[in-house]
Amino acid sequence: MVNDMRVAKISAALAAMFILSTVAGMAASVDTRQIGQGDRLMVRVPTEPAISGEYTIDETGRFFFPILEHGLDFGAIEVDGLTLDEAEELVSKLMSKYYESPVVNIEFVAYGVRPGYAVSVFGAVQEQNTHRYFEGMKLLDVLIKSKPLPDADISKLALFRGEDPVRYLDIRKMMDGTDMSANIPMQAGDTLIAPYTQPAMKMRVIVLGKVTTPGTMFVPEGTQILDLLGRAGGTVGRAAIGSTYIIRVVDGEPVIINSDVKSLMKFGDLKENIVLKDGDVVFVPETSRVDIAKVIQNLSLLNLIKSTTD
Mean per-residue pLDDT of the chain: 83
Q: Quick check: is 3 in a domain? A: no
Question: Once rounded to an integer, what is the mean pLDDT over residues 95-118?
Answer: 86
Instruction: Confirm if 152 and 143 have CB atoms less than 8 A apart.
Output: no
263 falls in which pLDDT band (50, 70, 90)?
confident
Q: Is 308 helix (H, G, I), strand (E, B) or coil?
A: coil
Q: Is the pLDDT of residue 71 over 80?
A: yes
Asked if residue 260 and residue 173 are part of one domain, the reply reads no
- Between CA 141 and CA 69 the distance in angstroms is 45
Query: For the domain that residue 170 is a member of, what is the CATH number?
Result: 3.10.560.10
Q: Quick check: is 24 in a domain? A: no
179 falls in which pLDDT band (50, 70, 90)?
very high
DSSP H or E run through 157 = strand 157-160
Residue 154: how many CB atoms within 10 A of its CB?
A: 22
Asked if residue 150 and residue 236 are part of one domain, the reply reads no
Asked if residue 53 and residue 83 are part of one domain, the reply reads yes
φ, ψ for residue 59, nearest 5 deg: -70, -10
pLDDT at position 10, please?
52
pLDDT at position 208, please?
93
- Strand-pairing partners, residue 132, are 118
Asked if residue 102 and residue 127 are part of one domain, the reply reads no
Q: Quick check: is 307 in a domain? A: no
- Between CA 288 and CA 144 the distance in angstroms is 37
Asked if residue 209 and residue 123 are part of one domain, the reply reads no
Asked if residue 152 and residue 177 are part of one domain, the reply reads yes
Q: Letter for the amino acid at 228?
A: L
Give me the domain span that covers residue 148: 115-194
Number of domains in the chain: 3
Asked if residue 101 and residue 46 are part of one domain, the reply reads yes
The total number of residues shown for the chain amounts to 310
Query: For the domain that residue 105 is a member of, what is the CATH number?
Result: 3.30.1950.10
Asked if residue 122 and residue 82 are part of one domain, the reply reads no
205-253 pLDDT, tens per residue? 999 999 988 998 888 888 899 889 988 888 888 889 999 999 999 988 8
Asked if residue 156 and residue 79 are part of one domain, the reply reads no
Q: Is the pLDDT of residue 31 over 70?
A: no
Phi-psi label, residue 71: left if phi above 0, alpha if psi -120 to 50, beta otherwise:
left
pLDDT at position 198, please?
61
Q: Is the pLDDT of residue 8 over 60?
A: no
Q: Quick check: is 134 in a domain? A: yes
Question: Once rounded to an integer, what is the mean pLDDT over residues 149-177?
Answer: 90
Least confident of 111-115, 241-245, 258-262, 280-284: 111-115
Question: Once rounded to an integer, what is the mean pLDDT over residues 36-40?
Answer: 85
Phi-psi label, residue 123: left if phi above 0, alpha if psi -120 to 50, beta otherwise:
left
Q: Quick check: is 25 in a domain? A: no
- Between CA 268 and CA 178 the distance in angstroms is 32
Asked if residue 215 and residue 177 are part of one domain, the reply reads no
With pLDDT > 90 as the criterion, what percentage of the chain qualifies? 38
pLDDT at position 248, please?
93
Question: Once rounded to an integer, what is the mean pLDDT over residues 112-118?
Answer: 73
Question: Once rounded to an integer, what is the mean pLDDT over residues 15-39?
Answer: 59
Q: Is the pLDDT of residue 21 over 70?
A: no
- Between CA 5 and CA 181 the distance in angstroms is 24
Residue 103: how many CB atoms within 10 A of its CB?
A: 12
Neighbour-count burial of 112, counting CB atoms closer than 10 A to its CB (0-12 exposed, 13-18 middle, 19+ buried): middle
Question: Once rounded to an integer, what is the mean pLDDT over residues 108-122?
Answer: 81
Q: Is 205 helix (H, G, I), strand (E, B) or coil?
A: strand
Question: Once rounded to an integer, what is the mean pLDDT over residues 2-21?
Answer: 50
- Between CA 52 and CA 226 the distance in angstroms is 43
Q: Is the pLDDT of residue 17 over 60?
A: no
Q: Quick check: is 280 in a domain? A: yes
Instruction: Confirm if 75 and 98 have CB atoms less than 8 A apart.
Output: no
Question: Once rounded to an integer, what is the mean pLDDT over residues 126-137?
Answer: 83
| Total-model pTM | 0.48
1 falls in which pLDDT band (50, 70, 90)?
very low
